[in-house]
Amino acid sequence: MTFFSRLLATGFYVGYTPVAPGTAGSMLGLFIYWIIPGSETLFFGIAIVTLTLAGAWTAGRIERDSGIKDNQIIVIDEIVGTLITLWAIEKTFIWLATGVILFRIFDIVKPVPVRTVEKVPGGWGVMLDDMVAGAYSLICLRLIQQVVVLLS
């Protein structure tokens, strides 16, 4: 296992958190979202795609080298899922917290097709379920925001 693949796949070793490494990975994703300006830009979308490609490769390496499918130390998938959830969301506590909570719910419950894409072999299976959970979360977050606007 190379230093780079371990560093990226574990979210700079956040994945080694002994309790709830997936949630720790989501918190790192939230931090990354918070510090990067222009989350509504094409650049941010390109950054998500780049992290996804690198994540699929590094997650696949970790799986192969450790012999453990979707090893819990891999959190790049939670980072990407969180970034998808928060894409172009206003940087206020309530919306960011709601987004992360929604993502964690979809990631843990794994409704169809989240559970289905998780079965894709290798690093892509690791990444895809969190990407779909992130897309579900983004859609729900946008719907909640629209309801709040309509009610106010």
pLDDT, tens digit, 9 for 90 and up, residues 81-97: 999 999 999 999 999 99
Q: Say if residues 55 and 76 touch (Cβ distance below 8 Å).
A: yes
Could you give the angle at the alpha carbon of 66 between the alpha carbons of 77 and 46, nearest 5°? 25
Q: Where are the domains of the chain?
A: 3-151
Distance CA 128, CA 4 (A): 21
pLDDT band at 65 (very low <50, low <70, confident <90, very high): very high
- The CB density around residue 56, as the number of other CB atoms within 10 Å, is 23
Phi, psi dihedral angles at 70 (to 5 degrees): 45, 50
pTM for this predicted structure: 0.96
Q: Say if residues 58 and 5 touch (Cβ distance below 8 Å).
A: yes
Distance of CA 60 to the CA centre of its chain: 16
Averaged pLDDT for residues 130-139:
98
pLDDT band at 118 (very low <50, low <70, confident <90, very high): confident
pLDDT at 1 over 70: no
Distance CA 41, CA 47 (A): 10
Give the rounded percent of residues in the chain with a pLDDT score beyond 70.
99
Averaged pLDDT for residues 110-127:
93
pLDDT at residue 76 in the model: 98
